[in-house]
Structure formats: structure tokens, C-alpha cells
Amino acid sequence: MAKGIRDKIAIIGMGCTRFGERWESGAEDLMVESFTECLADAGIERKEIQAAYLGCYNDEVNIGKSAVPLAKTLKLPFIPVTRLENYCATATEAFRAACYAVASGAYDIALALGVEKLKDAGYGGLPGGAGAGVDAFMAGANATAPGAFAQLATAYAAKHGITMEQIKHALAHVSVKSHANGALNKKAHLRKVITEEQVLAAPMIAYPLGLFDCCGVSDGSAAAIVTTTDIARAIKPKEEIISVKSIQIAATSGEESISTNWDGSYFATTRRAAMQAYEEAAIKNPRQEISMMEVHDCFSITEFVTMEDLFISPEGSACDDVLNGLFDLNGGIPCQVDGGLKCFGHPVGASGLRMLYAMYEQLLERVPEERKVHNARLGLTHNLGGRPHQNVAAICIIGRG
């Protein structure tokens, strides 16, 4: 009978580049940058890595369809390398592959690395309508990413009897909070504090989502080295052991598109993945047990709705929790502690590992005092790839011990 992955795997090293308009760097340069930090953090030699997994979504503007460039760039000595992609959950998929490769007993130490050079695409969003599936590129207003996700807000407001003005103020708070956190992070792309007034007065992209409600396009890379908890204890002091409590991925069955049961106000995949993740991690009350989160804030409404899909906020109460500061840096469950997609942008192949890096840094207390989450024990990351009616959700939970 399946027992899950809880506490079988430990992260012994992580690295992350500065995200942004990295015109001076190719994908290979970014891979070297994140890997160099990761390897030094792990305290092992390159030759000890026995398998590697590369997350990269848009091969046309990056490194191609193979993982061989990872082996060549990092000079990995004739080990198996595998390229993966799974919409916006690509980096988390690479991390999951590395973890399960080690948990299976096939390897002792494995590398997961994600990279993406989206700025090279010359387009203001994801190239080719990434994640749209059968939707034609720019086929209509609601076939664009902002159009599709904006409908979440209207559906949510209608379902719960909340006015659009209330929704807009809550969404503004989400963006203001993330920018305040990102302004403190040297690796973030966007590092300016914004005000609620600026958010509400910004140009409208797809009602009710304005300019500050949408994450940007960016370049970046992040990496992790994982091993068994037993090996980790031989390498690292006890206080530096960060273990994997859960990794769960749920892909749509298609029923959201063809069934009248789904009302468009939530993500069925996130709810399913969350239930499975909490069971695997033995979490009974996520609102009380989760210390901090990085969730997929491609749009502010996505973060807002995710609070309920993760069973942190009771259904219909996300507005109150957001406006009451529960997810602020000094709140009960800080969310987007490094600035999130909103301030890092979303280089698809790297985002999931960048989120884990944020949790990892906090758990090891390696962040400056002004952006530290005190007494953090468990960190959760969440990716969402695709559109509200057709998507994949990925959740990781990591923690001390």
C-alpha cells in the first residue's frame, strides 16, 4: 500500500538567480548561477550527483527539447538527465521527479533545476498562449489569460454575494502586500512599494483585473539537491535538515469544462491536491499548522481564491482574511514572503523551485530580519498551470526535521 513521501527526503542545497530582464545572460548562464549556489549550499561535490531533472517549458526560446544542455552546461559526468514540463507546475514536477527517484532507492542524490528565458520571446505574456490547451491564441477576450482569470472574480462575487468593489479592494491589498515583500528582496524583479490607490487607479486589463493585478514576464533559474534523510543527517547538522513532508499533483479530469457542477469560482484541482497533501503530511488543521505560503499568484484573484481552495480560509471568507492582514508578512500565515510571482515574474520552468527556495530560506532563518517569518515550521508552495477550466495544481510542503 502506498505510504507517500513524508520525511523520506531532505533538501540539502538550494540556489536561485536574480529574476528579471536578464538580457546579458542566456539560459545556460542562469543554470550555472543557480547551480553554483545550490552545490555550495549542499556542501557536496558535483560528482556525487547521480541523476538530474530539468524543468523548462518553452523550448523554442530556451535550450531545446532535450535535457542534454543541462549535462553539458553543468559538466555533469555521464549521469541520466531528464527534461520535464507540465504547464506552470514544470519546476515542481522536476522537483517531484528528483525526490521520487531518491525515495525509490534508485539514486542517493539527485538534482532538480528549472530555467526559463521568457523575455527572449518578445511577447508580454506566455508565448503561444502557454497553458491554453485547445484554446486558440488570442481567439477572444476570455481566451487570454487575463480574460479567463478575471472570470474567477465575477463568479466568486456572484456565488458569495460580495460586491465587485469589495473584491477590488481585497485584490488591491493582495498586490500591495506582495510588492511590500518584494521590495525587501534583492532577487526580485520588481522592487517598488505600491499603494492601494495606485492599484485601483491603474489601467484595466480585464475587469476587475488592473495592471497591478497581473504578474509579469521574467527570466530566472532555481535549483535543489535532494537526498535521503539518513544521508542528509550525515552531511548536515540537525538544525539544517529540511525535509519534504508532501508533494502532490492533481490534473483536471475535464469535468470542470463539461459538468454543470463547477461554477467557475474555484479550482477543483487545487482542492484535490490540497486534501491529498495534508493527508500525506499528517496535517489536520492547515490554518493552524502551516507557517507560511508561496502560492501561484499569476493574477491577484488566483491568490485570493487559492486561500479557500487550500482550506486556509473558510469558503466565502477570503475577503475578510485578506483585508484583516492574515496573509501579510506580519500576519498569522504570511503569503508570498519573497514577493511572489507578482514581484519575481513567472519564468515557467523556474517558478516552482523559486517558491521552494523562499520557504527553504525562511526555515533556515537565512533572510534579513525585516522579511523574516519567525518560528516557521512548515512552508507550503502551490503552482497552478493552465486555465480555470483546464489545469494542473501542484503542492509541496516542506519543514524542519
Domain definitions of the chain by residue range: 9-123+219-243, 139-215+246-400
Do 139-215+246-400 and 9-123+219-243 fall under one CATH topology?
yes
Average pLDDT over residues 346-351: 95
Q: Please identify which residue in the block is written with the cell numbers 482574511.
A: 321
Asked about 160 being catalytic, the answer comes back as: no
Res. 281 pLDDT band, cuts 50 70 90: very high
SS3 of residue 401 by DSSP: coil
pLDDT digits over 231-260, tens only? 999 999 999 999 999 999 999 988 887 877
CATH second-level architecture of 139-215+246-400?
A: 3-Layer(aba) Sandwich (3.40)
How far out from the chain centre does Cα 171 lie?
19
d(CA 366, CA 117) in angstroms, rounded, equals: 27
**Mean pLDDT of the region 160-165:** 94
Which cell is 156 given?
A: 466568486
Q: With cut-offs at 50, 70 and 90, classify the pLDDT of residue 346.
A: very high
Cβ distance 327 to 333 under 8 Å?
yes
The catalytic position among 16, 56, 88, 396 is 88
How deeply is 332 buried, as exposed, middle or buried, from its count of CB atoms within 10 A (0-12, 13-18, 19+)?
Answer: middle
User: For residue 154, what are the β-bridge partners?
Assistant: none
Q: How confident is the model at residue 144 (pLDDT cuts 50, 70, 90)?
A: confident
Q: Is residue 359's pLDDT more than 80?
A: yes
In this structure, how many other beta carbons lie within 10 angstroms of the beta carbon of residue 375? 7
On the CB side of 68, CA atoms within 13 Å amount to: 3
The verdict on whether omega for the bond into residue 208 sits within 30 degrees of 0, i.e. cis, is yes
High-pLDDT (> 70) share of the chain, %: 94
9-123+219-243 placed in CATH 3.40.47.10: yes
> By percentage, how much of the chain surpasses pLDDT 90?
84
Q: Please give the average per-residue pLDDT across 18-41, as a whole number.
A: 96
Question: Where residue 131 falls among pLDDT bands split at 50, 70, 90?
Answer: very low
The verdict on whether 88 is a catalytic residue reads yes
- Per DSSP bridges, beta strands 242-251 and 292-294 are unpaired
Q: How far is CA 159 from CA 153, 155, 263, 288, in A?
A: 10, 6, 8, 27
Question: Catalytic one among 179, 189, 346, 389?
Answer: 346
Cβ atoms within 10 A of the Cβ of 140, count? 9
Task: Return the number of other C-beta atoms located less than 10 Å from residue 72's C-beta.
Answer: 12
The pLDDT of residue 127 is: 63
Euclidean distance between CA atoms 340 and 298, whole angstroms? 9
